[in-house]
């Protein structure tokens, strides 16, 4: 019958690599079944209970107690194992060849003044303070530690924004700066793609896929998985996007995130739109409603994001071909969209896509019942009316054959001073009106002229569906509609993107601007040097990459005894 014995040490601090090694060493001793060496948090005690490694002392331990517990064949063996703990701890040897080990960040910074980066992987409850010291020293922070509070994250990132420094994390697993990996990082080919990720393994997965596809990256900037949540508000993400936007080596930017807060995702997308580079976006669990919108490409997943980024980098798209929006032509108060369709599917797709730009779109045949127009004959706000719906066609020709109802409605909508954009479809082919543009064109010209007389600008946009072999000839129809002043495309999506962009601009509310000091571009490109506080293995990995690094022989204040530490802290204040 196995017995379990435990020892609780209050106020002891070792990094988790040391604890792991100790646990393994204990478990390998003769007669020992299993061993646990962990901090006494509720979660850890549950895990120990789950694997049958608890005693009453273990259950009574506190989150800053070190718990050492052993299950062995008999009590003597168990106690003997525990008796060897100090000896086992002393065996620990370092792989970092460093003559003098500074005890503080400040002295490390004096040893390596050109170090721009501080890696922090101490236990979460101490991490924010170390990060604060690093920022005060003017260093960028790679904050690997998790279990850091949201409040600390907010205050650290506010300080960093002021100083033009990046705080990657907390809980930032990965960063790759100019080919040097911080934390968990892969060896990725250098190339034209820059990545920002609120997603540790997301950054690894996307960049390794980019590498596997034969391309490479400039920088991969992690932000910590919480960066795109409230109340952090993408603080680091936006600074990272900004620096990659300015980085001449970065041709394509890729954004990855764990499931973001919807509003923060919008904020990031709004900012991404202003970048004059292709931006590929994959926010996990946020399904894309379109493939491309201006300089933005929306990926369905991480594979797709990597593939899109490589494809774009290999064949850079022409972003200058984006249509100019006539936003300044509209009068004050013009802000609404009215779609007058003959084709039901075109109307549905328009509703679906337009919602991304303007929010709620009313319709007589809505995708969601809540958006049903009260009266199909009277538009409200943004509205889409399918005039081919059953309600309009009893004993009446379909609007693809007879333009009369649409023309009446077009002239009516154009009188509404709040209307900015009206959309029509012109669907040709057998069965349809023999020359719809000959009737719709003049109506469009008239509607635009009357709006102009009334001191407004009316944009009429048209999707033209047909081919060059149709009896009416597509090009002929397009020419007639353009001659009447309409903006025309044969892609429904393109028309909605154009109209949606205008409406978004007209309806955009002044957002609180996020003010930050831009990160100095040279930070990313100059030789990387770092200070490491916490897991020694991260320093070892930097050494392997030939990155100059100073490892700090860090101990928590008062050796990890938090009660004592807080007394010391208070004494400092009063002294």
Residues 1-20 that bind a copy of itself (CB under 8 A): 16-17, 19-20
Cβ proximity of 384 and 372 under 8 Å: no
* 28 lies in the site for a copy of itself, by CB under 8 A: no
Output the CA–CA distances (angstroms, integers) from residue 31 to 218, 456, 495, in the order listed. Answer: 53, 89, 75
Residue 66 in tokens: 């070190």
Site mask for a copy of itself (CB under 8 A), range 307-346, x = bound: -----------------------------------xxxxx
- End-to-end CA distance of the chain, in Å? 57
Shortest Cβ 106–a copy of itself spacing (Å)? 26
d(CA 430, CA 341): 18
d(CA 92, CA 21): 8
Please identify, among the stretches 81-89, 194-202, 313-321, 329-337, the one whose residues bind a copy of itself according to the rule CB under 8 A. Answer: 194-202
Shortest Cβ 309–a copy of itself spacing (Å)? 14
If the CB atoms of residues 8 and 290 are measured against a copy of itself, the closer one turns out to be: 290
Contacting residues for 167 by C-beta, under 8 A, at least 6 apart = 131, 135, 140, 141, 143, 153, 156, 157, 160, 224, 235, 236
3-state class (DSSP) for residue 465 = strand
Residue 396 in tokens: 């009446």
Site for a copy of itself in 491-510 (CB under 8 A): 491-494
Site for a copy of itself in 511-570 (CB under 8 A): 537-538, 541, 544-545
d(CA 387, CA 192): 49
Shortest Cβ 164–a copy of itself spacing (Å)? 27
If the CB atoms of residues 300 and 314 are measured against a copy of itself, the closer one turns out to be: 300
If the CB atoms of residues 291 and 563 are measured against a copy of itself, the closer one turns out to be: 291
If the CB atoms of residues 85 and 346 are measured against a copy of itself, the closer one turns out to be: 346
Shortest Cβ 402–a copy of itself spacing (Å)? 5
If the CB atoms of residues 404 and 452 are measured against a copy of itself, the closer one turns out to be: 404
If the CB atoms of residues 331 and 529 are measured against a copy of itself, the closer one turns out to be: 529
Shortest Cβ 431–a copy of itself spacing (Å)? 4
Residue 373 in tokens: 């127009």
Task: Identify any residues that bridge with 419 across adjacent strands, giving them in sequence order.
Answer: 336
Please identify, among the stretches 227-235, 299-307, 319-327, 452-460, the one whose residues bind a copy of itself according to the rule CB under 8 A. Answer: 299-307
Site for a copy of itself in 42-61 (CB under 8 A): 43-44, 46-47, 50-51
Site for a copy of itself in 472-491 (CB under 8 A): 474, 490-491
d(CA 283, CA 299): 8
If the CB atoms of residues 247 and 493 are measured against a copy of itself, the closer one turns out to be: 493
Site for a copy of itself in 348-407 (CB under 8 A): 348-349, 351-353, 367, 376-377, 388, 390-398, 400-402, 404-405
Site for a copy of itself in 60-79 (CB under 8 A): 63, 66
Cβ proximity of 201 and 174 under 8 Å: yes
d(CA 297, CA 283): 12
Contacting residues for 130 by C-beta, under 8 A, at least 6 apart = 105, 118, 120, 122, 533, 554
If the CB atoms of residues 349 and 553 are measured against a copy of itself, the closer one turns out to be: 349
Site for a copy of itself in 158-177 (CB under 8 A): 171, 173-174
Q: Binding residue for a copy of itself (CB under 8 A) from 186, 438, 476, 523?
A: 186
Write 265-270 long-range contacts (CB < 8 A, 24+): 265/228, 267/233, 267/234, 267/238, 267/511, 268/228, 268/234, 268/237, 268/238, 268/241, 269/296, 270/511
Output the CA–CA distances (angstroms, integers) from residue 476 to 209, 460, 522, in the order listed. Answer: 46, 18, 55
Q: Binding residue for a copy of itself (CB under 8 A) from 94, 467, 517, 566?
A: 467
Residue 70 in tokens: 């052993």
Shortest Cβ 163–a copy of itself spacing (Å)? 27
Helix (H) or strand (E) holding 338: strand 336-341
Q: Which of 479, 386, 399 is nearest to 441 (CA)?
A: 479
Shortest Cβ 76–a copy of itself spacing (Å)? 26
Q: Binding residue for a copy of itself (CB under 8 A) from 441, 466, 500, 534?
A: 466
Number of residues that bind a copy of itself (CB under 8 A): 115
Site mask for a copy of itself (CB under 8 A), range 90-129, x = bound: ---------------------------------xx-----
Q: Binding residue for a copy of itself (CB under 8 A) from 57, 470, 525, 553?
A: 470
Cβ proximity of 486 and 318 under 8 Å: no
């Amino acid at each position: 019958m196995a017995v379990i014995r435990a020892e609780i040490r209050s106020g002891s601090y070792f990094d988790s690599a040391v604890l792991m090694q100790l646990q393994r060493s204990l478990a390998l001793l003769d007669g020992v079944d299993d061993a646990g060496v962990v901090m006494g948090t509720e979660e850890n005690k549950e895990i120990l209970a789950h694997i049958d490694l608890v005693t009453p002392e273990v259950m009574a331990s506190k989150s800053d107690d070190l718990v050492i517990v052993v299950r062995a064949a008999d009590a003597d063996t168990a106690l003997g194992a525990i008796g060897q703990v100090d000896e086992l701890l002393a065996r620990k040897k370092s792989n970092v060849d460093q003559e003098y080990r500074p005890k503080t960040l400040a002295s490390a910074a004096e040893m390596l003044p050109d170090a721009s980066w501080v890696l922090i992987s101490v236990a979460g409850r101490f991490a924010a303070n170390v990060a604060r010291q690093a920022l005060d020293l003017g260093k960028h922070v790679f904050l690997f530690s998790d279990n850091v509070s949201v409040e600390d994250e907010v205050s650290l990132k506010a300080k960093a924004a002021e100083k033009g420094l990046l705080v990657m994390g907390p809980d930032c697993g990965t960063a790759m700066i100019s080919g040097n990996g911080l934390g968990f990082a892969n060896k990725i080919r250098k190339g034209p793609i820059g990545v920002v990720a609120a997603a540790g393994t997301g950054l690894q997965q996307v960049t390794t896929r980019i590498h596997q596809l034969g391309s490479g990256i400039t920088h991969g900037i992690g932000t910590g998985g919480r960066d795109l949540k409230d109340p952090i508000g993408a603080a680091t993400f936006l600074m990272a996007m900004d620096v990659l936007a300015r980085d001449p080596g970065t041709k394509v930017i890729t954004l990855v995130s764990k499931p973001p807060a919807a509003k923060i995702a919008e904020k990031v997308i709004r900012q991404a739109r202003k970048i004059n580079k292709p931006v590929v976006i994959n926010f996990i669990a946020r399904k894309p409603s379109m493939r491309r919108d201006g300089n933005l490409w929306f990926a369905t997943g991480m594979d797709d994001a990597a593939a899109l980024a490589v494809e774009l980098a290999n064949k850079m798209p022409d972003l200058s071909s984006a249509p100019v929006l006539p936003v300044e032509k509209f009068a004050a108060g013009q802000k609404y969209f009215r779609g007058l369709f003959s084709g039901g599917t075109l109307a549905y797709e328009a509703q679906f896509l337009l919602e991304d730009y303007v929010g709620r779109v009313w319709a007589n045949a809505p995708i969601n019942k809540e958006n049903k127009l009260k009266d199909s004959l009277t538009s409200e706000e943004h509205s889409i009316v399918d005039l081919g719906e059953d309600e309009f066609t009893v004993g009446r020709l379909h609007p693809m054959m007879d333009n009369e109802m649409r023309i009446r409605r077009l002239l009516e909508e154009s009188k509404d001073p709040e209307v900015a954009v009206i959309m029509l479809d012109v669907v040709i082919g057998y069965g349809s009106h023999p020359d719809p543009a000959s009737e719709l064109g003049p109506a469009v010209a008239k509607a635009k002229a009357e709006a102009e007389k009334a001191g407004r600008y009316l944009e009429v946009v048209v999707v033209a569906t047909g081919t060059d072999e149709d009896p009416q000839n597509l090009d002929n129809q397009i020419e007639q509609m353009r001659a009447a002043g309409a903006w025309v495309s044969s892609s429904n999506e393109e028309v909605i993107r154009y109209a949606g962009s205008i409406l978004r601009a007209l309806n955009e509310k002044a957002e609180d601007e996020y003010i930050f000091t831009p990160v100095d571009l040279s930070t990313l490109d100059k030789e990387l040097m770092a200070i490491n506080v916490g897991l020694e293995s991260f320093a070892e990995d930097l050494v392997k990459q030939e990155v100059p690094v100073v490892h700090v022989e860090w101990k928590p204040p008062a050796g990890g005894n938090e009660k004592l530490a807080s007394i010391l802290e208070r004494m400092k204040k009063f002294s």
